[in-house]
Chains A and B, each alone.
Chain A
Amino acid sequence: MSSQLCCDVTDVALSQLLRVLSVSRCVYKVRAGCQPAELWRKMLHLGVTLLLLTAAAAGPSGSAAPPLRGPGLGFSPAVSASSASAPPLLLLPQPREEYGAPGVALARSAAEEAAGPGEEEDGGEHQHHGGGFRVVQWEWSYVQTPYIIAIWLLVASVAKILFHFSQRFTTVVPESCMLILLGLVLGGVVLIANKKQLYQLEPALFFLFLLPTIVGDAGYFMPARLFFDNLGAILTYAVVGTLWNAFCTGFCLYAAKLLGVIDERVQAELMDFLLFGALISAVDPVAVLAVFEEVHVNDTLFIIVFGESLVNDAVTVVLYKVYISFVEVGAENVQTADYFKGVASFLIVSIGGTLVGLVFAVILGFITRFTKKVRIIEPLFVFLLVYLAYLTAELFSLSAILSMTFCGIGANKYVEANISQKSRTTVKYTMKTLASIAETIIFIFLGISAVDKSKWAWDTGLVSCTLVFILVFRAMGVIGQTWVLNRFRLVPLDKIDQVVMSYGGLRGAVAFALVVLLDGEQVKAKDYFVATTIVVVFFTVMFQGLTIKPLVKWLKVPRSTNRKPTINEEIHERAFDHILTAVEDIAGLQGYHHWRDKWEQFDKNYLSKLLLRKSVYRKSELWEAYQKINIRDAISVIDQGGNVLTSARLSLPSMASRASFPEVTNVTNYLRENGSGVCLDLQAIDNVPGAKVEEDTETHHVLAENLYKPRRRYQSHYSRHFMPLGEKERQDREVFQRNMKSRMETFKSSRHKRHKKERSLKKRRGSDAKEDGSDKPRRNVSWQDKNPVVVPVESEEEKAEHSDPEKEDDVGITFVARKAETPKQRPQSVPAALDGRQSPSAGPASPPTEDSHLPWKGSVGSPPPCVSVEATKIIPVDLQQAWNQSISSLESISSPPVPAEPVHPRVSALSRLGGPRPASYTPPGSVVGSTSSIGAQVAQGTFSFSEPKKEEEEEEDEEEQEMRPLMTSQRPPGFLPPPPPPPGSAPGPGRRSNPCVYLRSLVTAPPPGSSEPHSRGPTQL
């Protein structure tokens, strides 16, 4: 935080490293072994005795001496260094003999550095005993540091589990209170065992490791829009409010001292009190986060209090630094210039910190742009750069919290867009886990640190005055500032908000760490300040944290709903933004929306181009939102189907995912057993399509219900991610597909080809290949003997691969959307194949012969097929695309001979179809036309009538959708199809015109998607 701290912190780290590197491992062992003292000794008694039963060499077990062994089997210095560099920063006991005295500053002393190893060397020599080879060795000192850390983390985590055993209990008592209490208990145990406190919250540990994890999490997941919408209020409270608190508290404490309320023993001058006021007045992000997360006040209130607690870091840092320097030189030597320096320092610290953060945000965004091939380390980049932003700011003694916060806020948008879904999840969970653990450790150690006789220099006057002052001035500051702010705010903060904000001004570990960092030589009353700070922190976190929930309830503060926006809200809110910007422009106001719009333009034109991948850049936010909503729906439906999760629990993604995991399979099984094609989307279930398409829907439903299972069984293994998917995501996808399907049903779209592209993607993926390996044969078995459609599917995959090389692996949702059309496709082809007429025994007969067996041929009495170019001309241009598609799908049914054995479908397709029948191959390409340019080209090359260009096809797709129902209802009865071509007219090799002719003859058949039910009857005769 402060420059001094900065120095200290770096010094400590460096000295530790040097020390560890210079001292032999054996020496290190001795040092480490001495430290854990009583608590560990007790534990070790047991362990050692047990171990020694098997150990060959006897050690000094059972004695009071720390159990130590000679050197181990030889370790590289790097190993010991890495394991040892952490201890001083982490959980080392407070009395570090080798450092001489507690406190960071002392670690700097080089002389001590030299002396320390010397001593330990002696100790090391002393411990060299035994010798010889031992079967089992007691390597406590080797593992000590990480071991202790791990044990602490374990204790903290288990404590959390225990707290949450009772749901009712945790809703009343905030976790932070429980953790502090636990810390007090643990501290008491250590104190009783050891007669003096071994552990405390080390400032270096806190500022270098614990705080960044929490701030990083907070910054990265900060709701940016909300933050900037309230930036004015946040800045005001953070800067003005903190200054007000600091000065008022400081001066009033001094006044209390003069009045004699504070005891004479507290040797403090005005500067000391101002310093104390500065460090005690800042609202603490950790405490605020811990308490407010459980209170669930509305977003605005939360972001103001929390934003304030983050941003006021700059103020705290500067005030702390300035006062420290003033205390050092003495109040009487402070010159006027120094005050201006203080102001300048504030600007530099805050703006500099912000800039450092933004620079790192840009770097982070830029790096993640190129991680496509190394998805697996994407999360690492996020952590590293965000952390580096923090460290760099510390390095230059700028506001590290500001730096990290703005790095997180700035980078989030671009990083989230760039990295894969998997990485997003990883980042999220890792950050949350780390932050949660850090928070736990902080509160436990706050509790432990309080149980320390050496710290307690109690003065009732000081403590009570401080408590009263911080509460009163906080309330006054909030009310005063809110009064001013409300004149400018759109939605004024009402009295209830002000009460919560005043009451929510929690102090926490930052204040404690800062006060511990004080130099006892300079600040005579340090011990009193430490004790007071502990009391203040405990009071705010425990008492206020405990009571703020009932207070919020009693005041009926609007709570946050944890509701995710619906697609309508997404759309309309965007529209509102545009409206407001336009109206501001018209009204000639250069207001907030004006500038936000300017920023968005800039972001779109420059920043996004620089920091986003090309493929991502083209995507629309609204589309992303739409996809997210769809997936969310799917998840919630699954969860509700399980009847286990309440919507409230759903709000916690971690819980939802974990808890719903076992449910997922049940739901899916249930759905499978039912075998219904009913869409799982809640909103879509009762969607009644227009009357126009109703009839068709009905028939379609029949098909979907009959044919759903195979599709699902197969498709559930489709993976859109690079990495193998968890069961749950697979389920999500399935449901998502069904959502899309139902939506598509209303369209009655027959753009059915694209799902194949997905398969191709899947095929390409190595990690999925394994999954598929088990799946594909099964699929082939189930389909192959009856269903020749496999072949065109695969051939199309090939094309899709060509047409789609740029697609990223994790943009799968786009595919999934199209996959929805699968049910339409499958039904088309399957019944034809299932009809049995076309038995596998027919083998690789010549295609035309097969044609006559096909259902849709049967329905026309299978006259010899002859070319009727006129037939195609009848079809309006608008519909030709539709015709193409239907042709191709029909063609795909008829063309490929049935491979009897489960060969690789594509291979079989190629081998059997070979050259002679190019036409049968191309149609699928034409089908892909609307999505793949290559396919379109192929189609245009083959069919003379597939004129439409790509863009037009898109349009035509729409029209098709409208027209299809008409076609299906009218065509089959009214349209007399021309006879199919005779067997002899099978398209020969090299005759380019023939395929067209052949196909055109097919054109006369009704489109398969809808004709299926009609054509089915005749064939079954």
Chain B
Amino acid sequence: MGSSSSNMNNIPDGQQLLQETGFSAAHIVRLYERFEFLDKDNTGHLRPEDLETVPDLDKNPIGARIIGAFFPPGKETLDFGSFVRILAHFRPADSNRARDGAQQEPANSTTGKLRFAFQLYDQDGDGKISRDELLQVLRSMLGLQVTEEQLQCIAERAIQEADADKDDAISFDEFRKSLEKVDIDHKMSISFLR
């Protein structure tokens, strides 16, 4: 934070990001340091390969998907603004800071968090988690521990459980409904250091 190279003034769109994401200036600076660290060749953009170098991410069963979530379809690079905006999903919900105004819902709202998770499942972007998409995630999360048949059972069960309109897929609303009892704010938040 103290280094001269990374104070708020040097960060592109720093003030705007501050407004937009609700991160504090210290957060932004810290994330910018991280961004620069990941951006090995100093292009100002991150490429998927840059994220893949992050240690332990290769051990994450759905790491590839998460990296994919940082890169919207069709884009190969990630600038700092997008980087912060995506991470803003994981900012804890703020109870006291009233974010009124005409903006759309902040990224760290419950819906925003769920939306991020949903798109991890919904790889083809059709707004639905199909059985195959669910199976893929399950397969990667469960690895070789379970048989394909068991995976099928679980996926089948999950879809049956959530599928309200009987289209054999989980839409975002169904997804949200199936998780409405879960404390999303808690489960999908990271305490960013201050």
Residues of A whose CB lies within 8 Å of any CB of B are 487-492, 494, 561, 563, 566-569, 571-576, 578-589, 591-594, 597-598, 601, 618-620, 622-623, 626, 629-630, 683-684, 687-688, 690, 740, 743, 746-747, 751, 814, 817, 954-955, 957-958
CA distance A221 to B105 in the complex (A): 40
In the complex, are the beta carbons of A580 and B190 less than 8 A apart?
yes
Among residues of B, the one whose C-beta sits closest to the C-beta of A580 is: B190
5 pairs of residues in contact across A and B, judged by CB atoms under 8 Å: A561-B181, A571-B138, A576-B187, A584-B190, A589-B190
Contact residues of B between 28 and 84, Cβ < 8 Å to A: 31, 34, 37-38, 51, 54-57, 59-63, 66-67, 70
CA distance A629 to B181 in the complex (A): 16
CA distance A490 to B56 in the complex (A): 24
Supplied contacts A580-B190, A583-B90, A626-B154, 5 more A-B pairs, CB within 8 Å: A571-B158, A572-B175, A575-B120, A582-B63, A582-B66
CA distance A814 to B153 in the complex (A): 11
Cross-chain contact of B160 among A492, A684, A955 (Cβ < 8 A)? A684
Among residues of A, the one whose C-beta sits closest to the C-beta of B144 is: A618
Q: Given A566-B161, A582-B60, A592-B191: A622 and B181 within 8 A (CB)?
A: no
Among residues of B, the one whose C-beta sits closest to the C-beta of A594 is: B56
Residues of chain A within 8 A of B92, CB atoms compared: 490-491
Q: B120: shortest Cβ distance to chain A, in Å?
A: 7
Q: B159: shortest Cβ distance to chain A, in Å?
A: 9
Residues of chain B within 8 A of A582, CB atoms compared: 57, 60, 62-63, 66-67
In the complex, are the beta carbons of B138 and A578 less than 8 A apart?
no
In the complex, are the beta carbons of A568 and B162 less than 8 A apart?
yes
Cross-chain contact of A597 among B56, B90, B179 (Cβ < 8 A)? B56
How many B residues touch the partner, as a band?
35 or more
Q: A735: shortest Cβ distance to chain B, in Å?
A: 15
In the complex, are the beta carbons of B150 and A623 less than 8 A apart?
yes
CA distance A586 to B31 in the complex (A): 10
Q: A812: shortest Cβ distance to chain B, in Å?
A: 14
B133 within 8 A of A: no
Residues of chain B within 8 A of A814, CB atoms compared: 150
In the complex, are the beta carbons of B90 and A580 less than 8 A apart?
yes
In the complex, are the beta carbons of A490 and B168 less than 8 A apart?
no
Residues of chain B within 8 A of A619, CB atoms compared: 145-146
In the complex, are the beta carbons of B148 and A954 less than 8 A apart?
yes
In the complex, are the beta carbons of B54 and A488 less than 8 A apart?
no
In the complex, are the beta carbons of B183 and A491 less than 8 A apart?
yes
Q: B147: shortest Cβ distance to chain A, in Å?
A: 7
CA distance A487 to B194 in the complex (A): 10
CA distance A487 to B183 in the complex (A): 19
B193 within 8 A of A: yes
B157 within 8 A of A: yes
Among residues of A, the one whose C-beta sits closest to the C-beta of B33 is: A588
CA distance A349 to B138 in the complex (A): 44
Q: How many A-B residue pairs have CB under 8 A?
A: 171
Residues of B whose CB lies within 8 Å of any CB of A are 31, 34, 37-38, 51, 54-57, 59-63, 66-67, 70, 87, 90, 92, 95, 116-117, 120-121, 134, 137-138, 141-143, 145-150, 152-154, 156-158, 160-162, 166, 168, 175, 178-179, 181-183, 185-194
CA distance A638 to B158 in the complex (A): 21
Among B120, B145, B153, B156, the most chain A Cβ lie within 10 Å of the Cβ of B153
Among residues of A, the one whose C-beta sits closest to the C-beta of B182 is: A569
Residues of chain B within 8 A of A598, CB atoms compared: 56
Residues of chain B within 8 A of A743, CB atoms compared: 153, 156-157, 160
Instruction: List the 4 closest A-B pairs by CB distance, nearest first.
Output: A620-B145, A568-B178, A588-B34, A582-B66
Residues of chain B within 8 A of A592, CB atoms compared: 191
Among residues of A, the one whose C-beta sits closest to the C-beta of B188 is: A576
In the complex, are the beta carbons of B157 and A629 less than 8 A apart?
yes
Residues of chain A within 8 A of B121, CB atoms compared: 575
In the complex, are the beta carbons of B142 and A955 less than 8 A apart?
no
Q: A507: shortest Cβ distance to chain B, in Å?
A: 31
Among B56, B57, B166, the most chain A Cβ lie within 10 Å of the Cβ of B56
Cross-chain contact of A490 among B54, B57, B138, B191 (Cβ < 8 A)? B191
Residues of chain B within 8 A of A629, CB atoms compared: 157
Among residues of B, the one whose C-beta sits closest to the C-beta of A573 is: B187
Residues of chain B within 8 A of A583, CB atoms compared: 66, 87, 90, 190
If over half of B's interface residues share one DSSP class (helix, strand or loop), that class is named, otherwise mixed; here it is helix
CA distance A586 to B154 in the complex (A): 30
CA distance A683 to B157 in the complex (A): 9
In the complex, are the beta carbons of B185 and A572 less than 8 A apart?
no
Residues of chain A within 8 A of B161, CB atoms compared: 566-568, 683
Residues of chain B within 8 A of A487, CB atoms compared: 194
Residues of chain A within 8 A of B189, CB atoms compared: 490-491, 580
In the complex, are the beta carbons of B162 and A490 less than 8 A apart?
no
Residues of chain B within 8 A of A620, CB atoms compared: 142-143, 145-146, 150
CA distance A580 to B153 in the complex (A): 27
Among residues of A, the one whose C-beta sits closest to the C-beta of B57 is: A585
Among residues of A, the one whose C-beta sits closest to the C-beta of B191 is: A490
Among residues of B, the one whose C-beta sits closest to the C-beta of A488 is: B191
Among residues of A, the one whose C-beta sits closest to the C-beta of B66 is: A582
CA distance A605 to B136 in the complex (A): 24
Residues of chain B within 8 A of A561, CB atoms compared: 181
Among residues of A, the one whose C-beta sits closest to the C-beta of B96 is: A492
Residues of chain B within 8 A of A572, CB atoms compared: 117, 175, 178-179, 182
CA distance A743 to B31 in the complex (A): 47
Among A490, A574, A579, A629, the most chain B Cβ lie within 10 Å of the Cβ of A579
CA distance A687 to B166 in the complex (A): 7
CA distance A279 to B90 in the complex (A): 43
Among A580, A582, A588, A623, the most chain B Cβ lie within 10 Å of the Cβ of A582
CA distance A954 to B186 in the complex (A): 39
CA distance A573 to B183 in the complex (A): 10
In the complex, are the beta carbons of A587 and B87 less than 8 A apart?
yes
In the complex, are the beta carbons of B138 and A622 less than 8 A apart?
yes
Residues of chain B within 8 A of A578, CB atoms compared: 60-63, 66, 141
CA distance A552 to B109 in the complex (A): 28
Among residues of A, the one whose C-beta sits closest to the C-beta of B193 is: A589
Residues of chain A within 8 A of B141, CB atoms compared: 571, 574-575, 578, 622
Cross-chain contact of B154 among A563, A623, A747, A955 (Cβ < 8 A)? A623
CA distance A630 to B161 in the complex (A): 11
Q: Given A490-B92, A576-B117, A578-B60: A687 and B160 within 8 A (CB)?
A: yes
Residues of chain B within 8 A of A488, CB atoms compared: 191
Q: Given A575-B62, A626-B157: A585 and B55 within 8 A (CB)?
A: yes
Among residues of B, the one whose C-beta sits closest to the C-beta of A578 is: B62
Cross-chain contact of B60 among A567, A581, A817, A957 (Cβ < 8 A)? A581
Among residues of A, the one whose C-beta sits closest to the C-beta of B60 is: A582
In the complex, are the beta carbons of A747 and B156 less than 8 A apart?
yes
Among residues of A, the one whose C-beta sits closest to the C-beta of B95 is: A492
Residues of chain A within 8 A of B95, CB atoms compared: 492, 494
CA distance A583 to B108 in the complex (A): 14
Among residues of B, the one whose C-beta sits closest to the C-beta of A577 is: B187
In the complex, are the beta carbons of B54 and A622 less than 8 A apart?
no
Residues of chain A within 8 A of B186, CB atoms compared: 490-491
Residues of chain B within 8 A of A623, CB atoms compared: 142, 145-146, 150, 154
CA distance A575 to B61 in the complex (A): 9
CA distance A623 to B66 in the complex (A): 23
Residues of chain A within 8 A of B67, CB atoms compared: 582
Among A563, A569, A591, A814, the most chain B Cβ lie within 10 Å of the Cβ of A569
Q: A628: shortest Cβ distance to chain B, in Å?
A: 12
CA distance A955 to B95 in the complex (A): 50
CA distance A585 to B190 in the complex (A): 11
CA distance A251 to B123 in the complex (A): 64
Q: B16: shortest Cβ distance to chain A, in Å?
A: 20
Cross-chain contact of A954 among B34, B120, B147 (Cβ < 8 A)? B147
In the complex, are the beta carbons of B146 and A490 less than 8 A apart?
no
CA distance A488 to B186 in the complex (A): 13
Residues of chain A within 8 A of B162, CB atoms compared: 568
Residues of chain A within 8 A of B37, CB atoms compared: 588
Residues of chain B within 8 A of A581, CB atoms compared: 56, 60
Residues of chain B within 8 A of A568, CB atoms compared: 158, 161-162, 178-179
